[in-house]
Chains A and B, each alone.
Chain A
Amino acid sequence: MNVLLGGATLAQRELVRFYRQRSRIVGSLAMPVIVWALLGSGLQAAFPSGMGQESREFLKYFFPGNLILTLVFTSIFSTISIIEDRHEGFLQSVLVSPLSPTGIVLGKVGGGAFIALFQGLLFLALAPLAGFHLNLLDILAVVITITSISLTMTALGFLFAWRLDSVQGFHAVMNLVLFPMWLLSGAFFPPESASRFLKPLMYLNPLTYGMWALKGALGGKIEWVSFMSLLGMVLLFGIVFMGSSVWLVHSKREMTA
């Protein structure tokens, strides 16, 4: 009871702060849109064979990858607030409150994932431009997918943010982790055709399963059994990350401890 109330309180605070910093909303949405538009139209110029039909195809091909890019960046960077909270002292007052480690993780991860979901939905609104025509069931499947990806990635961000004491350090570490994860998610090439060296890395990447699930949901005609098992994989990673986060908060409350 107290865990849920406390968690919801922290999550709510996360959303209020996000809403009051408009530049964050614009920034994290504009980046993938720009990447997507530039990649799509740039590749059209590089392969000038068609009459504009190809550019449509490229835009369509990169759409799920860019949707995932939005989610990944928003979820992970929302956990920067943990580092800020530590510096500003707010975190201390949470740590001495009766809220359990589970409540702290649920609140922070829940709030961050909600923000990512919101950004994902904004990007999803561009789907018709990319040539996707989704019915209600497809949209529901997409929403479930991006929720799962957001939760998992926010939990991963939490794990890093808890032990890092500077925002700069977090950026450095996350860029080293995030970009490879995104590049190896199947956004650019499918794991089936990847080299023997990359294949295992791709199968160890939660985003690969998220990408499959997302492509399935966006493509219409969902095969529910495989879709659900892909989601299961994503969430399995998420549960492992969250469990580790709870353990981390429990055993290392303080930077110095």
Chain B
Amino acid sequence: MKQRWIELKQIRFSYGEKTALDGLSLEVNEGELFCIVGPNGGGKSTTFKILSTLIQPHAGSLSFWGEDGVRFPQRIRPHLGVVFQSPALDKKLTVEENLFYQGKLYGLTGKKLKEKTAQILARFELSDRKQDKVETLSGGLKRRVEITKSLLQNPKLLILDEPTTGLDPIARREVWDHLKMLRKEEGVTVVFTTHLMDEAESADRTALLDRGRVVVSGTPSELKSLVGGDVIALKTNHPIELKNGIHEKFQLEAKLVDQELRIQQTEGAKFIPALVEAFPHQIQSVTLGKPTLEDLFVLKTGHHFWKSETRPA
């Protein structure tokens, strides 16, 4: 039976006048690879800072494995592994020294510290780089050291803020392999943030964040099934006219995203001929696809934006 590992309820946080989190609630179960995805400025980083105990929410409750994270952050900290977006390594020190210092901050000493460091360096294939100063390492290796460092204390929870940002595709793949290995072999609960939808699809469960709230959450397939049917994407030079035309003729609400119209339809393939016949000159190309998380995001936040009338429809 999986345990409820983290629970955030109605979290609010603002930087002065600017509201960053507006009643955010989410739950993570033990052993999950959990993704928080959303556009920049949606509240991911603030959520991350609250999870890392770096800042305290202005309202709402936060619990880790049943412990109150707002009242007793010091009870949570020993069990957290945290990987920040900006590197938290000391560049002037070697890889091994960075790990030693980190271990000591978590109360590891002497033989135990040495053994644990050697073991974890070997596991992440960093043994031959342990004497290198961090400033000489590539971006991908630095990120690997960073992840290694956060695992020294055997955390109950590993949280990562945009762990693949700024990495090349190979390094990005490596980070993913390591995270999946950790979850599989150690059962560590992992929470990460990203603004890339394709990364969200490889998580066990995902929460979509927008404007400081969770718009929707679930497993990738659950989320995709919310979109329903197929997605038809239309390329056109006259998006607004076409959008209005489709609305008049088919009573369908097309969403305009980056000069592309997206329509959700149960049986897309059957609908396309009618569509093309109705607007022979306005449509440049038609793409039929299965819904992605991006479609869900458009569906959900488009709705959201629409209601508050900040985006022209």
Contacts and interface: CB of A to CB of B under 8 A. Distances in A.
Contacts of A21: 92
Interface in A15-29: 16-17, 20-21
Contacts of B104: 5-6, 8-9
A89 B77 contact: no
A93 B77 CA distance: 11
B88 A5 contact: no
Interface string B89-116: 1111100010001101111010000000
B251 interface: no
A62 B46 CA distance: 53
Binding site secondary structure of chain A? helix
Nearest to A5: B104
Contacts of A97: 77, 102, 105-106
B80 interface: yes
Contact of B82 (A8, A17, A96): A96
A253 to B, nearest CB: 6
Contact of A253 (B54, B90, B93, B105): B54
Contacts of B87: 88-89
A100 B84 contact: no
Instruction: Identify the interface centre among B77, B102, B105, B109: most chain A CB within 10 Å of its CB.
Output: B105
B56 A96 contact: no
B215 to A, nearest CB: 25
A5 B93 CA distance: 19
A96 B149 CA distance: 13
B105 A9 contact: yes
B54 A16 contact: no
A100 B78 CA distance: 11
A95 interface: yes
B54 A93 contact: no
Contacts of B53: 96
Nearest to A9: B104
A133 interface: no
A109 to B, nearest CB: 17
Given A96-B77, A257-B55, A20 B84 contact: no
B74 A96 contact: no
Nearest to A95: B54
Nearest to A91: B88
Nearest to B86: A89
B105 A94 contact: yes
B49 A254 contact: yes
Contacts of B55: 253-254, 256-257
A5 B77 contact: no
A200 interface: no
A193 interface: no
Contacts, number: 78
A13 B77 contact: no
Contacts of A9: 101, 104-105
Contacts of B101: 9-10, 12-13
B167 to A, nearest CB: 16
A20 B92 contact: yes
Contacts of B250: none
Contact of B78 (A89, A93, A98): A98
A127 interface: no
A93 B102 contact: yes
A15 to B, nearest CB: 12
A132 interface: no
Given A97-B105, A254-B49, A90 B74 contact: no
A257 B78 contact: no
Interface of A: 2, 5-6, 8-10, 12-13, 16-17, 20-21, 88-90, 92-100, 253-254, 256-257
Interface of B: 15, 49, 52-56, 74, 77-78, 80, 82, 84, 86-93, 97, 101-102, 104-107, 109, 149
Q: Which 3 A-B pairs have the closest CB atoms?
A: A93-B88, A89-B86, A9-B104
Given A17-B90, A97-B102, 14 more contacts: A6-B105, A16-B93, A88-B86, A88-B88, A88-B90, A90-B88, A90-B89, A92-B84, A93-B82, A96-B54, A97-B77, A97-B105, A98-B74, A253-B55
18 contacts: A5-B107, A6-B104, A9-B104, A10-B101, A21-B92, A88-B88, A89-B88, A92-B52, A92-B86, A92-B88, A93-B84, A93-B149, A94-B105, A96-B80, A97-B106, A98-B74, A253-B55, A254-B55
